[in-house]
Structure 1
Amino acid sequence: MNPPPSRLRRFVGVGSRFLVVGGLSTLIEIGVFNLLVYVWGWDVVAAKIAASLVALVNAYIGNREWTFRHRDRRGRIAEVLLFLATNAVCTAIGAALVWAGVELVASSLGRAPGAFAVNAVNLVSIVIVVLLRFVLYHWVVFRAKP
Structure 2
Amino acid sequence: MKPTSRLRRLASLGSRFLVVGGLSTLIEIGVFNLLVYVWGWDVVSAKIVASLVALVNAYFGNREWTFRHRDRRGRVTELVLFVLTNAVCTAIGAGLVWLGVEMAAGILGRTPGAIAVNAVNLVSIVIVVALRFVLYHSIVFRSPAPR
Q: TM-score range by the shorter chain?
A: over 0.9
Report Cα offsets for 1:38-65 as digits up to 9, x if no partner. 0000000000000000000000000000
Task: Give aligned-pair identity as a percent.
Answer: 80
1:129 counterpart = 2:104: no
| Correspondence list, 1:108-119, <5 A | 108-119=107-118
Stretches of 4+ moved more than 4 A in 1? Answer: none
SS at match of 1:85: helix
Query: TM-score scaled to structure 1, two decimals?
Result: 0.97
Which residue pairs with 1:145 in the alignment? 144
Which residue in 1 is equivalent to 2:52?
A: 53
Q: Which residue does 2:119 correspond to in 1?
A: 120
1:34 equivalenced with 2:24 (yes/no): no
Q: Counterpart of 2:68 in structure 1: which amino acid?
A: R
Rounded Cα–Cα distance in structure 2 between residues aligned with 1:55 and 1:13: 22
Output the CA distance in 2 between the equivalents of 1:115 and 1:27: 16
Q: Secondary structure at the match of 1:144?
A: coil
> 1:138 deviation in Å?
0.2
Aligned length: 143
Partner residue in 2 for 1:62: 61
Match of 1:6, SS state, is: helix
Q: Which amino acid aligns with 1:125?
A: S
In structure 1, runs of 5+ residues without a counterpart are none
CA offset at residue 117 of structure 1?
0.1
- Aligned partner of 1:17 in structure 2 is 16
- TM-score, normalised to structure 2, is 0.96
> How far off is 1:131 after superposition?
0.1
Post-superposition offset of 1:95: 0.1
